[in-house]
């Protein structure tokens, strides 16, 4: 398997965690999201993923894109260490936490969106960081409440084993810090992060541990 990735890409980070949790070894093909205007826009990478977004996973000559679709593929193909609970209601809850991050927070603080806001509306770095912080805080505030209110509260987002929700949460916290969010108000989320980062699967997937880290 070959993962097209960038050390700081949080969607790639999700897939790295999932592969590590499953104990799957893989090759990395680094795509630098800023160098030369972004290698994701080069024809070579657009031929891999016409969306010009990371990650992409090459499996037996086929390309999979969209981190959540990739992770569900991995989970179905390698069912040991399941990333979703079996019970349909629990599964819907875990998916809702993951989607809260992957659909509602991440896309509107992504590089191309911030670049567009910056250039089209003449915003400076601090203004776009404020935009990012706004959407991240809105999402994390709701997630903190959802985590506390659920009936199966445990050490992770859901119960006592890591799921797709934790896989989405941990990389998002990296982005939150990069944009200057005050995470101290999310005590439950921070304690989940501590639990996740104690696991090699999460720690080894961290941006600073990647071969292309700067």
Ligand X SMILES: N[C@@H](CCC(=O)N[C@@H](CS)C(=O)NCC(=O)O)C(=O)O
CB neighbours (10 Å) of residue 43?
6
Residue 101 DSSP label: I
Chosen residue from 3, 17, 54, 84 binding ligand X by CB under 6 A: 54
Chosen residue from 17, 83, 102, 201 binding ligand X by CB under 6 A: 102
Chosen residue from 110, 163, 172, 210 binding ligand X by CB under 6 A: 110
Stretch that binds ligand X, among 71-79, 107-115, 135-143, 158-166 (CB under 6 A): 107-115
Residues constituting the chain: 214
Stretch that binds ligand X, among 64-72, 121-129, 178-186, 187-195 (CB under 6 A): 64-72
Q: Is 53 in the site for ligand X (CB under 6 A)?
A: yes
Tokens for 192, please give them.
């989940």
Q: How many residues bind ligand X (CB under 6 A)?
A: 16
Report the nearest approach of ligand X to the CB of residue 189 (Å). 19
Smallest CA-to-CA distance from 194 within 176, 169, 211 is with 169
Nearest to ligand X of 89, 119 (CB atom): 119
Smallest CA-to-CA distance from 172 within 139, 200, 148, 147 is with 139
CA atoms within 13 A on the CB side of 107: 8
Helical ranges in 30-124 per DSSP H? 43-46, 67-77, 88-99, 111-120
3-state SS assignment for residue 182: coil
Report the nearest approach of ligand X to the CB of residue 51 (Å). 8
Nearest to ligand X of 89, 120 (CB atom): 120
Q: What does the binding site for ligand X look like in residue numbers (CB under 6 A)?
A: 9-11, 33, 38, 40, 53-55, 66-68, 102, 110-112
């Amino acid at each position: 398997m070959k993962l097209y990735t960038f050390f700081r890409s949080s969607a790639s980070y999700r897939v790295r965690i999932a592969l590590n949790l499953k104990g799957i070894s893989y090759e990395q093909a680094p795509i630098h999201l800023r160098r030369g205007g972004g290698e994701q826009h080069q024809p070579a990478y657009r031929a891999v993923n016409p969306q010009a977004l990371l990650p992409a996973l090459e499996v037996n000559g086929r390309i999979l894109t969209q981190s959540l679709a990739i992770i569900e593929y991995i989970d179905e193909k390698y069912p040991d260490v399941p990333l979703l609970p079996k019970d349909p209601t629990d599964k819907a809850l875990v998916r809702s936490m993951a989607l809260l991050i992957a659909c509602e927070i991440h896309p509107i603080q992504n590089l191309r969106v911030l670049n567009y806001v910056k250039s089209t509306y003449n915003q400076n770095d601090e203004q776009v960081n404020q935009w990012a912080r706004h959407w991240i805080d809105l999402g994390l505030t709701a997630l903190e409440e959802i985590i506390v209110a659920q009936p199966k509260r445990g050490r992770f987002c859901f119960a006592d084993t890591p799921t797709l929700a934790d896989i989405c949460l941990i990389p998002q916290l990296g982005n939150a810090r990069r944009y200057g969010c005050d995470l101290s108000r999310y005590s439950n989320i921070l304690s989940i992060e501590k639990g996740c980062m104690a696991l090699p699967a999460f720690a080894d997937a961290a941006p600073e541990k990647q071969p292309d880290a700067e």
